[in-house]
Structure 1
Amino acid sequence: MNKILKKVLYFPITKIVLGIGICLAVLIGIQDFISKPILQSLISSKPISDTIVNYFSVVVLLTSYYFLFKFYEKRKITELSRKNLILELFGGFLLGFSILSLVILILYALGYYQVISFSGFSYFLAPFSFLVIAALIEEIFFRAILYRILENWIGTYIALAIISVLFELPHIFNDNVTILSVLLGLLFGFAHGIMYTYTGRVWLPFAFHLGWNFAQPFYGSNLSGLEDIGAILKGKFEGPELITGSIYGIEDSILSISFLFILCTVFLYLSIKANKIKPFQSKKSLLE
């Protein structure tokens, strides 16, 4: 009985469900019943209290993941290693931000983008901290738990295909979804997965995700179909939707999608060259 129970407990699907469930429960529990009530009672400014709550939630999520899987899998948590931490955080953020900045530059050169006004620095409080915790939640759940376990179980290529679809599923229910935005979501999931494969850590895909998401409100674009996420620059997009992006945002532009595809190809090549691709396991090992 103990042998059967151990097999069930350490079966990959069980680890995924328990990992996401426990980390999510700890995050929501501490945020809703401890950090948020305490900070809102001590700080009258909601933007400031929300900012602190979001950054505290970052610490809670990373800590809960670290100790859960250190105990559960009895191993060193290399995916949260501090190796190349600064390089991957700053480099990833700059890469994500720069790709969409290049799209904006092209739109500006074509006369399809215009800056209307500057909205101020308030976005760098609660809205930016929300982008941070939202990106981290997705990377911990989709990359550190789901993709990591699937990749070790069924190999890199099948895991990439699965994670690309699963990553896009929640975004299908966003407002203003288009066919191009679905394609973008599939590529986005692939890009983050192959970045994780190449580095073996969550920092690069997390930072890229954050830089990509931050660039959109920075230039006054909607973010993944959401229209109420605020902006730093108020911009005017006027031109063919195929190039400027639909109401979904500039990430919906064929330019953004093309650059993202190139990025996927580059990291896939680097991963193959560095022998980071994990093979598909035998039928027997899939049951273990």
Structure 2
Amino acid sequence: MNPSIKKILYFPITKILIGIGLCFSLFVAIQNFVSKPFFYYLFPDKSIADPMIHCVSVLVLLFGYYYLFRFYDKRKITELSLKYLHNEMFGGFILGFLAITFTIFLLYILGYYEVLDITTEHYSLRLFCLLIVAALIEDLFTRGLIIRVCENWLGTNLAIVVGMLLETWHMFNPNANLFSLFTDLVWGFTMAMLFIYTKRIWLPFFFHLGWNFAQPFYGSNLTGLSDMGSIIQSKFSGPQLFTGGLVGVENSIFTVITLLSIGIILYYLSKKEGKIVKGSIWNKNLKENFIEDEN
């Protein structure tokens, strides 16, 4: 292969664009031209068909990513390693769920949260499967691809900044405000650290899933969305700073402090264990400077 073409092809930004472009295109194509026609034909009831479509979409995303980068990078796809899947699956989901539960508990103690009813009539498997696909798309591409490539290229600290800035797209969600922008940045930091500490997508993915499930579970909006169902029908009252307002309980100052604490602890542990690294661009510059000094 021509060295110039190879240099462009394996440039980090090119790798990110190819990874997202091909994997997402495959996902959309299979979902719209294979999964939907097939399952809607077999099951006219969308509440039955959609969960199956979402399950196929998850497999398409994971296998598409795996085989693309096996061919592209010619390496083991360690970010999808199943070695610690059991621990990271349950640990991540429980941690994400408890982070929201802690805020709900504080709001209840303060008299700002009231349980009205408990029923599963307003929640469905279809909604939960939708959360799975949405979380996987974000974590596979943002953490597994972009942060991983940027960490190898720019180093851990700059990769964290990139991860934080990427989460500001949530500002386009309904009911977003200035404080939710700060929440998005904290979310990006902690989610980046969940990946950086393990170097696998499973911990951030299942944390994300537990976090997203917990909010409608307690009757809260989810990132400004009010149509994500609920299991506990509830009433929030009190200052928006505490309840999160229309954005949802994730925008509560209590939740943000909890989330930031998790990220800081993981950064400390990562630094202690030597997981905060310089990227290849800095190592290359250091090497070039050393050669110049020697001459």
Q: Secondary structure at the match of 1:123?
A: coil
1:159 Cα deviation from its structure 2 partner: 0.8
Partner in structure 1 of residue 28 of structure 2: 28
Amino acid at match of 2:28: I
Structure 1 residues 284 and 207, CA gap change in structure 2 (3 angstroms): closer
Query: What 5-or-longer segments of structure 2 have no aligned partner?
Result: 286-295
Query: What 5-or-longer segments of structure 1 have no aligned partner?
Result: none
Amino acid at match of 1:105: F
1:278 Cα deviation from its structure 2 partner: 1.3
Amino acid at match of 1:184: T
Partner in structure 1 of residue 16 of structure 2: 16
After superposition, the C-alpha distances for 1:221-272 in whole angstroms (9 at most, x for unaligned) are 0000111111111110011111111110000100000101101111001101
Q: Which structure 1 residue ranges, 4+ long, deviate > 6 Å from structure 2?
A: none
1:212 Cα deviation from its structure 2 partner: 0.5
Where do residues 112-131 of structure 1 align in structure 2 (5 Å cutoff)?
Answer: 112-120=112-120, 123-131=123-131
Structure 1 residues 282 and 133, CA gap change in structure 2 (3 angstroms): closer
Amino acid at match of 1:41: Y
Alpha-carbon RMSD across the aligned residues, in angstroms, is 1.3
After superposition, the C-alpha distances for 1:57-76 in whole angstroms (9 at most, x for unaligned) are 11110000000000000000
Q: How far apart, in 1, do the equivalents of 2:45 and 2:178 lie?
A: 41
Amino acid at match of 1:199: T
1:279 Cα deviation from its structure 2 partner: 1.1
1:122 Cα deviation from its structure 2 partner: 6.3
Where do residues 49-198 of structure 1 align in structure 2 (5 Å cutoff)?
Answer: 49-120=49-120, 123-168=123-168, 170-198=169-197
After superposition, the C-alpha distances for 1:120-176 in whole angstroms (9 at most, x for unaligned) are 1662410000000100000011011111000000000011011110122x2111010
Partner in structure 1 of residue 207 of structure 2: 208
1:247 aligns with 2:233: no
Kindly tell me the number of residue pairs found equivalent between the two proteins: 285
The structure number with the bigger radius of gyration is 2
1:274 Cα deviation from its structure 2 partner: 1.0
1:222 aligns with 2:235: no
The two structures have a TM-score, normalised by structure 2, of: 0.94
Moved more, 86-95 or 173-182: 173-182
Q: Secondary structure at the match of 1:247?
A: helix
1:265 aligns with 2:271: no
Partner in structure 1 of residue 293 of structure 2: none
Matched-pair contact (CA < 8 Å) for 2:153–2:281: no
Moved more, 276-285 or 28-37: 276-285
